[in-house]
Amino acid sequence: MKKWNVVAVKAAKGVEKLGCCTAYDAAFASLADSAGVPIILVGDSMGMTTLGYETTLPVEMTETLSATAAVARAVKDALVVADLPFGSYQCGDDEAMKNAVSCLKRGADAVKLEGATERILSLISRMTQSGIPVVAHVGMMPQSVNGYGGFKRQGKTREDAAKVFEDAKAVEKAGAFAVTLECIPSELAASITASLKIPTIGIGAGPVCDGQWLVMHDLLGLNEKVPSFVRKYADLANVVRGAFSSYVEEVKSGVFPPAK
C-alpha cells in the first residue's frame, strides 16, 4: 500500500487522480485507509454528520482535536488533514498557530483553512514556513454560510469567477500544497486546475480537478438526503436501520440472546 505524504500528493498532479473523503473516528478511518483512500479529512462537516448541527459553525476546537487523534491513531498510509473549525483561526494569528500546532501534535499531517484574504494568505505563509502543511479552500466556503445566505454555488458571474481564480493563485503563492475548490462551475475549476502547479481537490466542482472530496456519510449512503453532485457508493442507512430493527425484534421475541 502506498504511503501518502505532502510530497506524494503534490507529485500526483497530472499523474493520478485522488479520491479523498472525510472520517471522524477510528473505525471508519481504518476502513478508508485500508481501502487506499489517499487523503482523509477530519472535516468540520462533523458538525452536521455526527454532532447534529445544521452548519459547520458550532464545531469546537476540542471536538476537532479529539476526532483528529482518533483518526490518526487508526491510519497507517493515508495523509490526515485536520479542518480548522470556525473561530479557531479567525481571532488572531497566534491563536491560529497554536491550534494548528495542536492538530499536528494529535497526529494530523496537515491542516485546512478557508479563504484567501490578505490575513489568511499571511497565515498560510506563516504556517508553511513553520513546518505546518496547509490545504487551502476557495470557492464556496461553508464557514461563510451566513454571508452567502445559505450554501450557494460561487463563481457564477464573470467577476465572481475571476475572484475565485485569483484566490486560488494567491493561496498557491502563499505556500498551500493543495487547494479545495467547492461548489464552483466545472469550467472554472478546469481553468484553475490547469493554471496551478499544486493539486486541486474538488467538491461539487466537476470532474477535471486533480482529486475529489466526498463526505463519508454521503458516499456510504448514511445520509439519505445528499447534494446533487454526490454519488452514493453504498446504502448503509437501510442496512443499519434494518440491523437495529432486527435486534430490537429478536430481543422482544426472546430469540436473542439464545438460551445457551
DSSP per position, 71-108: HHHH-SSSEEEEEPPTTSSSS-HHHHHHHHHHHHHTT-
- The residues annotated with a catalytic role in the active site are 182
**Which three-class secondary structure state does DSSP give residue 170?**
helix
Q: How many CA atoms lie within 13 A of 104 on its CB side?
A: 16
Dihedral sign for Cα 8, 93, 182, 40, please.
positive
The answer to whether 240 and 255 have CB atoms below 8 angstroms apart is no
Q: In 10 A of CB 64, how many CB atoms?
A: 26
The answer to whether 175 and 122 have CB atoms below 8 angstroms apart is no
